[in-house]
Structure 1
Amino acid sequence: MKSIFTKLMLTAAVVTAPFMASADGHSDDLTYILVSHAPDSDSWWNTIKNGIALAGDQMGVTVEYRNPPTGDLADMARIIEQAAASQPDGIITTLADYDVLAGPITAAVDQGIDVIIMNSGTPEQTREVGALMFVGQPEYDAGLAAGQRAKGDGVESFVCVNHVISNTVVGERCRGFADGLGVDLGDSMIDSGQDPAEIKNRVTAYLTANPETDAILTLGPTSADPTILAVQEMGIAGDIYFGTFDLGTEIVKGIKDGTIQWGIDQQPFLQAYLPVVVLANYDRYGVLPGNNINSGPGFVTADALGKVEEFAGEFR
C-alpha cells in the first residue's frame, strides 16, 4: 500500500471524470463507467474518484464517473440506462434503492455488459440483478458490530442521524446498531435531510426533547459534521457517546479531540479501485474472484489515526 499512497500523493488534484489512461501499454481500449447515487455536494465521493483514477492509470483503461447532480435516484436510473446504451465494457454502480435501480441494471446485464455493484446494495441483490459481484461493506453487519461495541461501553439508547433516508440499504446501519444494543429502532432514526443547518437544528431538537439519549450515530460526514457543531453548541461534546460511519476531516478532528469515540471506515478507495482491477483482468484474462469482497467495517479510534488522519477526505 505504501507505493499506492506515494503515487496518489503525486497527484496534484482530485481527478474528475472521465479519466483516461494507458500507462501499462495495453491497447485494448477498455472503457468502464462508474455510476453513483451521490449528489455533487457530497465530498465523501472524492475518494471514489481518486480510486478509479489510480486503477485506470495502473490498468491502462478508461474510467468515467457519472452521478445525478442532486442525488435523485430516478435520475440515476436514467444515467445507468444511458451508460448501458453507450456499450461500455463494464459498469460499476451502487444499488442505493433496489426498486428504482434493479430494472436498468438488469437491462444492462441482459445487453451483455459486465456489472459490478459497489458501496450500496447487498450480495443477495447483486445476484438478483445478475451482476458479477459486490464490493463494499455489509451495512447491517457493520451496524450490528457498532451496536455491540456501544453496548459494551454502557450505551442503552441512541439517535441515528440518517441523511440519506431514501437509501434503504444505508438505513440498515441504524437497524443493525439497534439490534446490537438489544433495543427497538422505533423512533430513534431521524430523517435529517442533507442541509447542514437543518441537520444541526434537528439533532439539537431531538436531544433537547430526549435528554436521556445515551448515544449518537451518524452515517457519514454529511450528517456527522453538523452534529459535531450541535453537540459543541449544546455543551455536551465529549460527554455524549458519539460514533459515526465513514471518515472525513472534521470526523478525524472529532476523534482526536474526544468528541467522537470511533469512526467506521468502509474503505471507499477500495470500493472504487478493486472493481476496475477486477473488470480489467476479467476482460483480458477471464479471471474473476470467486466471492464478494468486503471492504469494511473497521473501527478507527484516537489511538489508531496515523495515516488515516493524513489521508482522510482524500483516500480514506
Structure 2
Amino acid sequence: MKLTKTKASLLAACLLGSCSGIAMAQDADRVSATMIIYLDPSVQFFNPVVKGAQDAAEAFGVDLDVQYANNDPVRQNDLIESAVAAGVDGIAVAISSSDAFDTSICAAVDAGLIVIGFNNDDLEGAKGNCRHAYVGMDEFASGYELGNRMIEAFGLKEGDTVFNPREIPEASFAVARGGGIEKAMDEHGIKVETVRAGLDPAEAQNIMAQVLIANPNIKALFGTGSVTSTVGAGAIKDAGVDIPFGGFDLAVEIVNAVESGAMFATMDQQPYLQGYYPIAQIAMAKRYGLTPTDVDTGQGAFLDQDRIGVVKPFIGTYR
C-alpha cells in the first residue's frame, strides 16, 4: 500500500494524539495483533498498558487480543506460538526473560510477524532477541538514577547497607533495575542486601518487614517493582524503623506514600505508552512498511513529592 501525502498527514496526527476512528477508517484493511502480558490480570500495573493498547487498536483499526501468561514461561511460549499459528500480523510481548522466549520470538519473526517487546526487554537488547523494537523504560539506567538520588538525598556512605527486595529476582526487570541500584551503591562502597519477595503483596510485606527487623543496620529500602514498592512503606512501619524508601511504578498506595513523605520517590515507566506504541507500530509497519523503533518510556521518570500530584488523577487509566 502506497503511503500518500494525505495518509502520511493522518499518521503524523495520530502520533500527536489527534487522530480519530473516522480518519483512520479510510484504511479498510484490518490489522490483527496479540498482546502477551507475562503476569496475570490481577496485577494492576498492567491496567494502563491494556488501556493504551485498546486505545491504539481503536485509533489504528487493529483487531486486538490480550493474553496473560500468569508468570509461566511455558504458557508464554505457547501463546506466542498460538499467535503465529493464528496468522496475526504482529505480537506485542513482555520479554521478561533474556533466554526463555528467544526461540519462539525468532520463529515468529521468521514467519513474517512484527514483534514488539514492551515493559521488559532482553538484557542484551536487540543483540539478545529477534524482536523488531522495544517500548519501555531503560531499567538499568533508572535503577542507577534512583540509587544516586537516594545517596545524595540521605547521605548514604561507604560501609552502609541498603535493602533491595525483588519480586522475581531472575526476571529481566529485576536484574536490570537491581543492577542499576547495585552499580550506584558499589561506586560508593555501599552493600546491597536482597531477597525474593514474590508477587503476593501481603507475603512480600511480611518478608520485607522481617528482614528489616533482623537487620537493624539497614540504612535505606529500594523497591524493585510494583509489589515491593506498593508495600514498602507498610513494611517499614511494621518493622518499627525509620529509613528512607524509594521504588518503581505507580499505584494508589505508591502515590499516597510519596505524597505523605513515607516514600522518597518512585520511578515511573509510563505503562500507557507501553501499550499504545507497540500496537500503533504494528499497524504502521503492516500497512505502510514503516520500521518499528525503540521508545524509552522512562524519560523524566523520577516522581517525588513535588511532582507526584500531577499524575494522581490518572492512576489506573493513563498512568
Structure 2-normalised TM-score?
0.86
| 1:51-200 matched pairs, under 5 angstroms | 51-68=52-69, 70-122=70-122, 124-153=124-153, 154-156=155-157, 157-181=161-185, 182=187, 188-200=193-205
SS of 1:63's equivalent?
A: strand
Task: Report what 2:298 is aligned to.
Answer: 296
CA–CA separation in structure 2 for the residues paired with 1:170 and 1:86: 32
Task: Report what 1:15 is aligned to.
Answer: none
Structure 1-normalised TM-score?
0.86
1:305 and 2:318 matched: no
CA–CA separation in structure 2 for the residues paired with 1:221 and 1:117: 19
Structure 2 gaps of 5+ residues are 1-13
Q: 1:203 to 1:266 in 2, by over 3 A?
A: same
Task: Report what 1:10 is aligned to.
Answer: none
CA–CA separation in structure 2 for the residues paired with 1:164 and 1:314: 25
CA–CA separation in structure 1 for the residues paired with 2:48 and 2:172: 22
Q: 1:310 to 1:294 in 2, by over 3 A?
A: same
Give the CA deviation at 1:107. 0.8
Give the CA deviation at 1:197. 2.3
Give the CA deviation at 1:42. 0.9
Q: 1:275 to 1:122 in 2, by over 3 A?
A: same
SS of 1:65's equivalent?
A: strand
For 1:242, the aligned partner's letter is F
Task: Report what 1:209 is aligned to.
Answer: 214
SS of 1:116's equivalent?
A: strand
SS of 1:282's equivalent?
A: helix
SS of 1:219's equivalent?
A: coil
For 1:213, the aligned partner's letter is I
Give the CA deviation at 1:162. 0.8
CA–CA separation in structure 1 for the residues paired with 2:128 and 2:209: 41
- Which of 240, 244, 249 aligns to 2:247? It is 244
Identity %: 28
Structure 1 gaps of 5+ residues are 8-20
- Residues 232 and 245, structure 2, Cα contact 8 Å, conserved in 1: no
- Residues 265 and 304, structure 2, Cα contact 8 Å, conserved in 1: yes
Give the CA deviation at 1:184. 7.2
CA–CA separation in structure 2 for the residues paired with 1:265 and 1:203: 22
Q: How big is each residue's C-alpha offset from its partner over 1:226-252, in whole Å with a ceiling of 9 and x where there is no partner?
A: 32222223344xx31110110110000
- Residues 88 and 113, structure 1, Cα contact 8 Å, conserved in 2: yes
CA–CA separation in structure 2 for the residues paired with 1:195 and 1:206: 17
SS of 1:214's equivalent?
A: strand
1:276 and 2:286 matched: no
Give the CA deviation at 1:310. 0.7
Task: Report what 1:260 is aligned to.
Answer: 263
Q: 1:22 to 1:129 in 2, by over 3 A?
A: farther
Task: Report what 1:225 is aligned to.
Answer: 230
Give the CA deviation at 1:218. 0.9
Higher relative contact order (CA 8 A, sep 6+): 2
SS of 2:170's equivalent?
A: coil
SS of 1:50's equivalent?
A: helix
Q: 1:171 to 1:130 in 2, by over 3 A?
A: closer
Aligned residues: 296
- Residues 127 and 133, structure 1, Cα contact 8 Å, conserved in 2: no
Q: Which has the larger radius of gyration?
A: 2
For 2:221, the aligned partner's letter is I
Give the CA deviation at 1:185. 8.4
